[in-house]
Each structure stands twice: as structure tokens, then as C-alpha cells.
Amino acid sequence: MARCILTVDDSSTMRQMITFTLKGANFDVVEAEDGVHALEVAKGRKLDLIITDVNMPRMDGLTLVARLRALPEFKFTPILVLTTESDQSMKMRGKEAGATGWIVKPFSPEKLMDVVNKVI
Amino acid sequence: MSSTAVPMVHGRASKYLDRSFNRQAMKILPGEFYATTEDEVIVTVLGSCVAACVMDPIAMVGGMNHFMLPVKQGDRDPDVFFAARYGAAAMEYLINNLLHLGAQRDRLVAKAFGGGNVLPGMSSDVGGQNVAFVRTFLSNEGIPLWSEDMGGPHPRKVYFFPHTGQVLVKRMERAHNNTVLNRELSYIKEFTGPSMAGEVELFS
């Protein structure tokens, strides 16, 4: 069974690009458009990796990371932050929230898959 | 952060007082964006680059970016999103800054300019690629395109007033605008190739 990745981004264009790259590497992909939606999608689902944006309506990506880490089923699931934010203090907030890694957009498919394969 | 790691930077040029409009003006260059809550004017000159003016009319927050999609070098790479990944990030830099300044995503509207066919010696229609991207992106994201002046043979000078959403466009004679063309050509060189991706950091 293919491993499943949840990608969370409020931009449908960005979700489309990320999904295209991941499906090309034979992963199953589920999508969510913000943190609240992501928690709904993740509920009861076995996920091998979560990739989230930071700036999103309703619930931002860093809050989402902290909320996921508080759930026993996602305590050890790798979570990558994929964002335009490159500020060091923001990265530290991501690390403290429990993120596994940080990727600054625009991503290259090769780099993204390299990181995915390292953490999954 | 290296200059090529992140494609868009917040406007670096200093502001000046524009006496014609009697307000502070911010001029942005290729690869830059600027977002503000102030009653200012944002100015740029476009050849085949495009500028999206995005605003939340209720919050009176607005901004402009100025970018060009990279031209793919050869057809071996099956990556259909090669250029669009860059454009999507360029749009996101601007939109995120607007949201930080108090804009709401569901209230955003846009106006778009540029994408002229002005670069000599380019085999593909660089401007046309930029125009198509902006239209598709805004449509995908549900951001209404209120007005546009894109394509054609002219460079353009654009003045955007973020408080009112008003835009003034001056179409320029191409013969007098080598500065615009040279700036765009050096921008293309700078932002094409494998270095065009953001940095990666794994937390231990």
C-alpha cells in the first residue's frame, strides 16, 4: 500500500504543484486548505508525512503543528513546513512547535523529494 | 540568505516624495514587492515582466509585485510546473504580506499589468507566458481580476494607489527604454536555473 502524505496550503495552485510532485513519486496524497481543515482530514487517518504552509486562514501552520503533536497518533509523524517565510525566529517557532524541517518556497521537486525521502 | 535562494524581496529602494501626486512613492524593481497600509503610491516600469496589484478594499491594504517567470532551458525536464512554481511563490510573498498587514484573503481583488512582447532575441513569448500565468493563478485562487492592461508591444509605467485601488498606466515607446530591457534581461539571467529554489533545514 502506498504511503500517504497530507499537504496543507490555502493556495490551490500550490496544493496542485505539491500533489503533482508527490504523486509522481507514487505517494498517496490528501489535501487540506487550512489548519482547521487539516485536523478534520487527519482525524482517523494513517499519515506517513504532513507538509504544511504557515500563513493560512482560520488556523496557521505553526498552530497546526502544535495541535497535531498534542494528538497521540501524530506525536512522531514527520511534519515539514513549506512556506515563503525564511525568518530565523519563525523557523525557531516551527521547531519549538514540533516541526521536523523547514523548506522555503519556491521548492524544487528534486529538493522536496530529497527531504521527503529523508524524513519519511 | 543568498540573493537567489528567495526570489522576491520586499522593496529595497528608498521612498521619495512624488510631487505630482503629493505623497510618498515607492519604486519597485524586478523581483521585488511592496505592501502597505499607508496612502502612498507604488511605482514600477514593466517590459515583459508582470505586476499584480492586490488589495483588500475594506482594510485599505494593498501591494504590488513585479516578476517574470523563468524560461525553461530545454525540454528534457518533464516538470510541467517549472515556471509556475516560481510565479506562485512570487504571488504568495505579496499576499502573505498583505495578510500580515490586516487584509483578509476572501476580500482580496487584483489588477494586473505588463507582459509586453518587448524582449529582443527571445525565442519564446516571455510576456505571454507571464500574462497567462497571472490570469490562471488569480482564477485558481478565486481572486477577482478587476482590471488589466497586459500584452502588446509596449513597456508600461504603472502607478498604484493602494488606498483607493486606482491605477494609472502609461504606455511607453519601446525605442526609449533600453534601461527597462537591460534590467529584465539581467533579471532573467539571475533567476534561471537550478539555484531557483528556497533553502531547506532539517531540525535535529
Q: Which residues contact B119 (CB under 8 A, 6 or more apart)?
A: B47, B48, B126, B127, B181, B184, B185
Instruction: Locate the domains of chain A by residue range.
Output: 4-119
How many residue contacts between A and B have a Cβ separation below 8 Å? 92
DSSP code, position B31: T
Contact call for residues B127 and B115 (beta carbons, < 8 A): yes
ipTM of the complex: 0.90
| Among the partner residues A17, A105, A108, nearest to B194 by beta-carbon distance | A108
Report the C-alpha gap between B193 and A63 in whole angstroms: 34
Q: In the prediction, which pLDDT does B178 show?
A: 77
End-to-end CA distance of chain B: 21
Q: In the prediction, which pLDDT does B81 show?
A: 78
The partner residues of A8 in beta bridges, in order of sequence, read: A32, A52
Angle at which helices B126-141 and A12-24 cross, to 10°: 100
Q: All domains of chain B, ordered by start, with CATH?
A: 9-190 (3.30.1330.200)
Tell me the average pLDDT across A93-97. 97
Tell me the average pLDDT across B98-110. 95
pTM of the model: 0.87
Question: What SS3 state is found at B156?
Answer: strand
Q: Are strands B166-171 and B156-161 parallel, antiparallel or unpaired?
A: antiparallel
Given CB atoms, is A52 within the 8 Å cutoff of chain B?
no
Distance of CA B196 to the CA centre of its chain: 17
Q: In the prediction, which pLDDT does B183 show?
A: 81
Tell me the average pLDDT across B135-145. 96
Reported as a pLDDT band with limits 50, 70 and 90, residue B3 is: very low
Q: What is the pLDDT of residues B80-101, one digit of tens each?
A: 677 788 889 899 999 999 999 9
CB contact under 8 A, A100 and B200: no
Q: In the prediction, which pLDDT does A62 show?
A: 98
Q: In the prediction, which pLDDT does B1 show?
A: 34
The partner residues of A28 in beta bridges, in order of sequence, read: A4
Nearest to B47 by CA among B141, B188, B146: B188
Q: Which CATH number fits domain A4-119: 3.40.50.2300, 3.30.420.40, 1.10.357.10, 3.30.1330.40?
A: 3.40.50.2300
Testing the interface with B: which of A90, A108, A119, A120 to mutate, by most B Cβ within 10 A?
A: A108
Active site (catalytic) residues of B: 49
Assess whether pLDDT exceeds 80 at residue B176: no
Reported as a pLDDT band with limits 50, 70 and 90, residue B15 is: confident
Given CB atoms, is A12 within the 8 Å cutoff of chain B?
yes
